[in-house]
Structure 1
Amino acid sequence: MDLQRAKEQVIEYLFDESFPPIVLLSGEWGSGKTHFVKNYLMDAPPEEYRVSYISLYGISSIDDFRDRVLSNAYVQSEYRDKGQELYDGLKSSLNITGIVAKFFGDGGLTSGILNALGKPIKHSLLSRISKLILIVDDLERTSTEKLIGEVLGECLNLVEGNDNFRVVVVANEKHITNKDVLEKTFLNRTFLAVSSKDMMAFVDSEYKSLLCPITKAILSNSIDSLSLTNYRVLHRILHRYKLLKRKIDGQGNSEIDVIPSLSKLIEHITLVCNAHFVHGFSKDELLSRSQRSGFNNSLVKEADKDVSQESRKELFSKIMQSSFGQIENYLIYYCLDLSTIPDDFINLFGLSLKTDPVDKLLSFTYQNMNNEDFSQLVQYTKDQFLFIDTPKSIVKWARVLDTLVYFAQNEYIAETKKELISHARIKSNVEGFFRLEDSLNSYDISVRSFEDVEELYNERKKLVVKSSRAKGFSILQERLVESWEEVSNDIFKVYDHKPFLDAVDISVLVKGIVDNWTYNGVIVFGQFLAARYKSSTIYEYLIDEFDAVKSLESELDKCAKVMSESLKKGRIMELLRYLREAIEYIDNSEKQKLEK
Structure 2
Amino acid sequence: MTSGKTKMNDISQHISYLLSDSSFPPLVMLDGDWGEGKTYFTKNTLIPDLNSVGESCVFFSLTGLASINDFKNRLLSANYIKKQVDAEAGKSMSTVLASLASQFGGESGGAIASMLSGASGLVKEAMLSKLSDKIIIIDDLDRVEDHSLCDLIIGECLQLSDDSNLKFIFIVNDKKVSGELALKEKVFSGCIKLNKSLQESVEISFSGYHWFEDYRDKIVKTVEKHNLKNLRILKRASKKLNEIFRVLESDKSLDLERCMSQMILVATLVIYYRYEKGFSGQDIWERSEYSNLLERKGNEKYEYDELVEVRSFLTTDLISYLVGGSNWQLSISHFGRLPKKGCPIDAFIFSPHFHHDDESFEQYVDTLQAFVFEENDVPFSKWFEAAYFYHFLQSNQFFTNERPILSENFDDLYGRKDFDYSDLDGRTNRLKIDPKVSFIFEKYTKGSESYKERRDSESQIDTFERMRKSWQDVDIEIYKSHQMRAFFNQFSVEQLMECIDGWKTSDILLFSDFISERYKSINIGKHLSDELQITRELLVKVQARFEEEPAGRKKGALGFLRYNLSSAVKALSLDDEGKLEQ
Of 49, 52, 55, which aligns to 2:55? 49
Match of 1:362 among 349, 368, 383: 349
SS of 2:28's equivalent in the other structure is strand
Q: CA deviation at 1:35?
A: 0.4
Number of equivalenced pairs = 535
Structure 1 distance, partners of 2:429, 2:475, is: 28
Identity of aligned residues (%): 19
What's the offset of the Cα at 1:350? 1.6
Distance apart, 1:449 and its partner CA = 4.0
Contact 2:486 2:531 in 1 (8 A): no
Q: Which residue of 2 aligns with 1:306?
A: none
Q: Is the Cα contact below 8 Å between 2:58 and 2:135 reproduced in 1?
A: yes
Instruction: Tell me what 2:234 maps to.
Output: 234
Distance 1:405 1:498, change over 3 A: farther
Cα 1:216–1:243, aligned 2, differ >3 Å: closer, same or farther? same
Task: Describe the superposition over 1:402-455 as per-residue Cα deviations: whole angstroms up to 9, x where unpaired.
Answer: 544544664546688866875676467x6x531176677xx9526474164665
Q: Tell me the equivalent position of 1:531.
A: 521
Would the alpha carbon gap of residues 31 and 490 (structure 1) be closer, same or farther in structure 2, given more than 3 Å must change? same
Matched position secondary structure for 1:31: coil
Distance 2:81 2:492 in 1: 72
Given that 1:393 and 1:434 are in contact with CA atoms closer than 8 Å, whether structure 2 keeps it comes out as: yes
CA contact (8 A) 2:247 2:331 kept: no
Separation in 1 of the partners of 2:185 and 2:130?
A: 25
1:35 maps to what in 2? 40
Long gaps (5+) in structure 2: 89-97, 548-561
Per-residue deviation, 1:216: 1.6
* Matching residue's letter, 1:341: L
Q: Amino acid of the residue matched to residue 329 of structure 1?
A: L
The answer to whether the Cα contact below 8 Å between 1:329 and 1:447 also exists between their aligned partners in 2 is no
Aligned partner of 2:532 among 547, 553, 557: 553
Secondary structure at 1:9's aligned position in 2? helix
SS at match of 1:189: strand
Work out the CA distance in 2 between the residues paired with 1:511 and 1:401: 49
Distance change in 2, residues 1:562/1:110 (3 Å) = closer
Equivalent AA in structure 1 for residue 15 of structure 2: V
Name the SS for the 1:578 alignment partner. Answer: helix
Retained in 2: the 8 A contact 1:53–1:136? yes
**For residues 54 and 543 of structure 2, what CA distance do their matches in structure 1 show?**
94
Matches within 5 A, 1:448-459: 449-450=434-435, 452=438, 456-459=443-446
Instruction: Report the equivalent of 1:542.
Output: none
Aligned to 1:62: 68
Write the letter of the residue equivalent to 2:464.
Q
User: Which residue does 1:265 correspond to in 2?
Assistant: 263
- 1:146-161, aligned counterparts within 5 Å? 147-161=149-163
Matches within 5 A, 1:423-502: 426=415, 433-435=420-422, 445=430, 447=432, 449-450=434-435, 452=438, 456-468=443-455, 473-478=460-465, 480=467, 487-492=474-479, 494-495=480-481, 501=487
The DSSP-based 3-state class of the residue aligned with 2:239 is helix
Query: Does the 8 A contact of 2:488 with 2:531 survive in 1?
Result: no
Aligned to 2:339: 351
What is the aligned partner in structure 1 of residue 130 from structure 2?
128
Give the 3-state SS of the residue equivalent to 1:247 in structure 2.
helix
Write the letter of the residue equivalent to 2:332: D
Is the Cα contact below 8 Å between 1:389 and 1:427 reproduced in 2? yes
Distance 1:13 1:240 in 2: 40
Which moved further from structure 2: 472-481 or 561-570?
561-570
Q: CA deviation at 1:555?
A: 5.0
> 1:584 & 1:30 partners in 2: Cα distance?
50
- Report the alpha carbon displacement of residue 474 of structure 1 after superposing the two structures with TM: 3.9
Q: Check whether the contact 1:133–1:167 (CA below 8 A) recurs between aligned residues.
A: yes
Task: Indicate the larger mover: 415-424 or 227-236.
Answer: 415-424
Q: Deviations over 1:215-239 (max 9, x none)?
A: 1222233333432211122212221
| CA distance 1:172–1:503, change in 2 (3 Å) | farther
Aligned to 1:245: 245
* Deviation, structure 1 residue 245: 2.2
Q: Choose which of 331, 337, 359 in structure 2 pairs with 1:342.
A: 331
Decide whether the 8 Å contact of 2:142 with 2:173 is kept in 1: yes
- Between 554-563 and 123-132, the greater mean CA deviation after superposition: 554-563
Cα drift, residue 91 of structure 1: 8.5
Tell me, in whole angstroms, the C-alpha distance in 1 between the residues paired with 2:574 and 2:138.
Answer: 53
Q: Which secondary structure does the structure 2 equivalent of 1:206 belong to?
A: coil
| 1:575 maps onto 2:560 in alignment | no
Which amino acid counterpart does residue 257 of structure 1 have in structure 2?
D
Whether 1:276 aligns to 2:262 is no
Corresponding residue number in structure 1 for 2:92? none
Q: Secondary structure at the match of 1:531?
A: coil
Give distance in 1, aligned partners of 2:247 and 2:168. 46
Aligned counterpart, 2:554: none
Q: Aligned-pair distance for 1:10?
A: 2.6
| Matched ranges for 1:103-142 at <5 A | 103=109, 114-115=116-117, 118-142=120-144
Asked if 2 retains the 8 angstrom alpha-carbon contact of 1:361 and 1:377, the reply is yes
Q: Quickly say closer, same or farther: Cα 1:490–1:267, change in 2 above 3 A.
A: closer
**Are 2:39 and 2:139, in contact at CA under 8 Å, matched by a contact in 1?**
yes
Instruction: Give the alignment's Cα RMSD to 1 decimal.
Output: 5.0
**Structure 2 residue matching 1:43: 3-state secondary structure:** helix
1:384 aligns with 2:371: yes
Report which of the two structures shows the higher radius of gyration computed on alpha carbons.
2
Q: Which amino acid aligns with 1:172?
A: N
Task: Evaluate the alpha carbon distance shift between residue 397 and residue 410 of structure 1 in structure 2; reply closer, same or farther with a 3 A threshold.
Answer: same
Equivalent residue letter for 1:220: V
- The aligned counterpart of 1:302 is none
- Say whether the 8 Å CA contact 2:114–2:123 is kept in structure 1: no
Which residue identity lines up with residue 211 of structure 1 in the other structure? F
C-alpha deviation, 1:38, in angstroms:
0.5
1:39 Cα shift?
1.4
Structure 1 counterpart SS, 2:332: coil
